[in-house]
Structure 1
C-alpha cells in the first residue's frame, strides 16, 4: 500500500518525520477549538484572570484619573474651566490617533507583546504626568498615555477570549465587565485616602503635592501588568493564524500542565491543523512541494522570502474587508451605529468625568454656606464654581498677594463618587441577568431615555442628595447603554466585519467623549441649563436611534 503523500492525498497536515516513522493509524490534526478544550480550565485561567485585574484597572485609571485631580490641581497648575475640559478629553485624543497603528501591530506582532509594551509605555507616561509642573506638561503626558493605552485597552479583551474555550468565553466577558466596575470603585477610594492630604515636598526643582502622589500611585496597575504578562504565553490563536504551530502547541502544553498538574508531554494533542493558507508551489510534473506539510510543527520561515508580498496582500485584504462597509446593505447601518455610539459616549463620558469636579464644588459650597438657609441647587453650585475658578485664576495670574488660591478637599469630597461607582457596579451585575430576559434593544432604549431625563432633571435638583441620586442613575443607565450598543453592533454585522465595526465605532465614541468634555466647560460659562441640556439632547438622540435599530432578541449570529 502506497504512502498518502505519494498517492496525492490532499490532506497536508503530516510532517515528513511523521510520515516516515508512524504506522498507518495517524492522529488527525486538531483545530484551535479542540486544542483549547483539551488544555482545560483551571489554575492557568485563574492566574490569567488575576493578572487581568490590574490590567483592567490600568485602562480605567488612564481615562479617569484626571477628573479626580482637577479640584486639587486647580491652584498648582492655574487651571481654567477649559483647561479642565482639555485634561479630561486629551486622553481620548491620544487613543483616537493611535487606534489604527495598534490594530495593525496587534495583528503583526502578537497580543502578549503588545500588552507588555503598551503597559510599560503607559507606566512611563503616568509617572511623567505625576512629575509635571505645568498644565502643558500634564496635557502632553496625558495625550501620550492615551496614545499608549489604546492598544492594551482593545487587545486585553481579545487576549482573554483567545485563551478560553467556547464553554467559558461568555462568562469571561462578564468577569471583565466586573473587573472594570471594581476599577471604577477603587479610584474614588484612593482619592479619599490621598488627595485630602496637604503634602508639599521639594526635590531639587520639583514640587510634589498630594495630587501628584495620587497620579503616581495610579501607575502601579500598569507596572504590575507589564511584569505579569511576561509569565503568560502568546495567544495560541494568533500563533496558529501565523502558521507558528510549534509555538502554539507549546502554549497549549503550558496551559494543560498548569490546569491538570500533569507533564506537558502528556497533552493529548500532538498535531495542530494548518490555519494559514500558503500558496502551494508545484513542479513541472504537478508534484507538490511539501511547503504546507511543515506548518503544523514548524515556524513558518518559508513565508519570509515573500514577506513584502504578504504585507501588500494583507493591506489589500484589509481594504477588501472595508469595502462592504461603504456599500449597501451595510453603509447606512454602519453609519447609524457610529452615530449612535458617538451620542451615547459623548453624554456618558462627559457627565462621568465632570462629576468629581461637580461633587467637589458641592462639598466646598456646603461647607461655605453651612448654617445659611440657601438651597444647594445645581445652578447655585455651578455659578459659584465658575466664578470662584475665574477669580482664583485671575488672582494667581497677576500674582495678587492679597488673594490666596485655596481649595477645600476633604475625604467627604469623594464620598459621592464612591456612591455613584457602587451603583454602577450593582447595576452592571443586574444587567447581565436582565439582558437575556428583555433583550439588548429594550435595555438600551430604556437606559438612554432614563439617562436623558436624569440629565435635564439635574436643573431642578435642589439638594446634594437629589443630585447624587440623579447622577448615580445617569451614570448607571449610560454605562449599561454604552455596553449594549457594542453588544448590539456585534449581532448586526457578519463575522468578517465585526472587528472593523467595533474599532470604528469606538473611534467615533471617543471622538464624542473628546468633544463633550470640551463643550461642557464652554457651556458652563454660559449658564446653568446649556451643559445639561447638551448631554440630555445627545442621550435622547441616541434613544431614538437605538429604537430603530433592526435588532431581534436571540437572533442567530451572522
Structure 2
C-alpha cells in the first residue's frame, strides 16, 4: 500500500483541533497497537536475518570442505568475509538511510542480500563463494545499520525503548533457531546433481537459502509499510508524515475511531540530520566534526580503550565461535570412537592430514553429529539468559565488576580448553570462552556515558567497527593457526581477554553503577 493512498483510507485531515503538533506528539496520538506490534516483530525478524546471514557459515564450513576443497585457512576467510562486507558498506548505508530514506535502504538491501545468498548456494569454488558471501555481507549491512532507526522513528519517546527491547526479544528468540534450522536442513543425505554448473546441490547449500528467507519475507512485508514519519518530517514532507500517522492510527484503532485531527507538524530544531545537509562537502564536514573530537583530548584515551575492548571481545567471541561447531563436531566424533583422555588440540591434530600439502582433505563430513547441534543451541541459550542476568545485576554490581568477571572467566576457560585432557569437560570450557560476547553490550553501555550526547552515536559506531575488524582478524588468525598451532589459538584468545580485563580498570568512570544499555550488534 503506497503512502499516497493513506489519506483516502484513513480519512481526510480537515479539522484544526491539533493545529500544530510535533511528530512525537502525533505518534503518541496514533496510539500503540497492532501496527506497532507488527513492526516490532518484523524488525526483530530483520535483525535475526542479519545474524543468520553472518553466522550460517559457521555450520557450512565443516560440511562443505569436500565440495569446495576448503583448507582451514580458507574456512577462516569464508567466516570473515561476510563481516568484511558489513564493515566496508556500513557507512554507505548509514549515509543513504539518512539521505534517501530508511525503508528504501532496508527493503532494497534485503532483496539484494537474498539474491546474492541464493547465487552463493550454487557456487562451485572457494573463490566464487568468497565473492558472493562478501556481497551478502555488503548488502545485509543495510538493514543492520538502519532497522533500529526505522523502528524507533515510528514511536514516541514514551514507547520507543519498549519497541526496541521488543525487537531485541524477537531477535533473542531468533538466535536459538539457527541450530534447529541447521539440524533440520544440513543433516540430510540427499544430493542433486547440477551438470551445467558442475556442482552437486547438497543440504548445506539449501541451508544458506533457508537462512536468507526471514530477510526476504521481511522485505516483502515492509513493502506495505510507509517511510519513517520522522524522516519525512526532517525532509520537510510533513503532509506525507501526517498521512502515515493517520494510517497508523487507522490500523491501531481498527478504523473504529474518527480520523486524527492533525493539521500540521512542526519541525523541532534538533531533528536536523544528514538528509537536510546539502552538498558533499557539507556532509563530509559534518562527519568530520562528529568523528575528529573522539581522537583528541579529552576523549582520545576513552575512545582508544573502548575500541581495544571491543576489538578484543570480538576477536574471541566471534572469531572462536565461527569454528565452534566444527571443533565440537570433531570432539564428539572422537568421543563416539572411544577417545576420552585427549586434549581438544590433540583431537584437532589427529583429525587433520599430516601431509604438507594442505589441500589434501581427509575424513570429509557431509553432516554434523546431533550432539554438536545441542552444544551450539546451549551456547545461544546461555548467551540470551546471560544477557538478561547482566541486565538485572549491572546496576547493583557495576560495569567494572561485570567486565572483569566475564573477561577473567572466559580467559581462564580458554586456557583450560588447552590444558584439560577430558574432552567432555573441555567442550563446556570452550562454550564459556565464546560467551565473552556478554561484554559487547556492557562496553556499549559504558561508551554511552563516556561521551557527550553529540558524540555518543559516533563513538559507539566506531567502537563496533573496531569490534567487527576484530571479527575479521580473529577468524582469519584462527583459520591459519587452528590446524598447525591449535594450542596457540586458544592461548592467544585467552591472553587477549585477560589483557582486556586489566584494561577495564583504566576506563574512566567505569566504577559508576548505572543502568544497563542493551543493544544487539550482529
> How high is the TM-score relative to the length of structure 1?
0.83
Structure 1 residues 169 and 277, CA gap change in structure 2 (3 angstroms):
closer
Q: Does 1:528 align with 2:521?
A: no
Separation (CA, whole Å) in 1 of partners of 2:303 and 2:192: 52
Structure 1 residues 391 and 213, CA gap change in structure 2 (3 angstroms):
farther
2:369 aligns with one of 387, 397, 410: 410
Is there any run of 5+ residues in structure 2 with no aligned partner, and where? 1-13, 518-522
> CA shift at 1:34, angstroms?
1.7
Separation (CA, whole Å) in 2 of partners of 1:389 and 1:495: 57
Separation (CA, whole Å) in 2 of partners of 1:411 and 1:205: 34
Structure 1 residues 389 and 194, CA gap change in structure 2 (3 angstroms):
farther
What are the within-5 Å matches in structure 2 for residues 325-344 of structure 1? 325-344=294-313
Q: What's the counterpart of residue 510 of structure 1? A: 468
Q: Does 1:136 align with 2:127?
A: yes
> CA shift at 1:429, angstroms?
2.4
Structure 1 residues 458 and 173, CA gap change in structure 2 (3 angstroms):
farther
What are the within-5 Å matches in structure 2 for residues 112-127 of structure 1? 112-127=103-118
Separation (CA, whole Å) in 2 of partners of 1:198 and 1:278: 56
Separation (CA, whole Å) in 2 of partners of 1:453 and 1:28: 63
> CA shift at 1:264, angstroms?
8.0
The secondary structure found in structure 2 opposite 1:271 is strand
The secondary structure found in structure 1 opposite 2:192 is strand
Q: What's the counterpart of residue 554 of structure 1? A: 514
The secondary structure found in structure 1 opposite 2:193 is strand
- Over aligned residues, Cα RMSD in angstroms? 2.8
Separation (CA, whole Å) in 2 of partners of 1:181 and 1:464: 29
Separation (CA, whole Å) in 1 of partners of 2:355 and 2:246: 60
Tell me whether 174-183 or 25-34 shows the greater mean CA deviation: 25-34
1:85 aligns with one of 67, 76, 83: 76
The secondary structure found in structure 1 opposite 2:201 is strand
Q: Does 1:358 align with 2:327?
A: yes
Separation (CA, whole Å) in 2 of partners of 1:84 and 1:101: 28
Q: What's the counterpart of residue 375 of structure 1? A: 341
**Contact map agreement 1:178 1:428 (CA 8 A) in 2:** no
Separation (CA, whole Å) in 2 of partners of 1:239 and 1:511: 34
The secondary structure found in structure 2 opposite 1:394 is coil
Separation (CA, whole Å) in 2 of partners of 1:354 and 1:345: 14
The secondary structure found in structure 2 opposite 1:30 is strand
Q: What's the counterpart of residue 6 of structure 2? A: none
Separation (CA, whole Å) in 1 of partners of 2:85 and 2:26: 38
Separation (CA, whole Å) in 2 of partners of 1:180 and 1:359: 25
**Contact map agreement 2:316 2:434 (CA 8 A) in 1:** no
1:474 aligns with one of 414, 433, 439: 433
Separation (CA, whole Å) in 1 of partners of 2:71 and 2:319: 17
Q: Does 1:457 align with 2:416?
A: yes
The secondary structure found in structure 1 opposite 2:21 is coil
Q: Deviations over 1:487-519 (max 9, x none)?
A: 221222122112221221121111110011111
Structure 1 residues 75 and 250, CA gap change in structure 2 (3 angstroms):
same
Q: What's the counterpart of residue 36 of structure 1? A: 27
Structure 1 residues 278 and 455, CA gap change in structure 2 (3 angstroms):
closer
**Contact map agreement 2:63 2:364 (CA 8 A) in 1:** no
Q: Deviations over 1:181-232 (max 9, x none)?
A: 3232111111111212122101342420111111121121111111011122
Larger Rg: 1
**Contact map agreement 1:346 1:513 (CA 8 A) in 2:** yes
Structure scoring higher RCO (CA < 8 A, sep ≥ 6) equals 2
> CA shift at 1:108, angstroms?
0.5
Q: What's the counterpart of residue 16 of structure 1? A: none
Structure 1 residues 406 and 275, CA gap change in structure 2 (3 angstroms):
closer
Q: What's the counterpart of residue 237 of structure 2? A: 244
The secondary structure found in structure 2 opposite 1:272 is strand
Q: Deviations over 1:153-208 (max 9, x none)?
A: 12112222222222333333333333333232111111111212122101342420
Q: Does 1:431 align with 2:390?
A: yes
The size of the alignment, in residue pairs, is 498
Separation (CA, whole Å) in 2 of partners of 1:128 and 1:28: 53
Structure 1 residues 240 and 323, CA gap change in structure 2 (3 angstroms):
same
**Contact map agreement 1:178 1:425 (CA 8 A) in 2:** no
1:386 aligns with one of 352, 367, 391: 352
2:63 aligns with one of 67, 72, 82: 72
**Contact map agreement 2:352 2:483 (CA 8 A) in 1:** yes
Q: Deviations over 1:371-425 (max 9, x none)?
A: x6x5142122121233379788326xxxxxxx88555633333221112112212
> How high is the TM-score relative to the length of structure 2?
0.88
**Contact map agreement 2:307 2:467 (CA 8 A) in 1:** yes
Q: Does 1:545 align with 2:503?
A: yes
What are the within-5 Å matches in structure 2 for residues 249-260 of structure 1? 249-260=242-253
Q: Deviations over 1:94-123 (max 9, x none)?
A: 111112211110111111111101111110
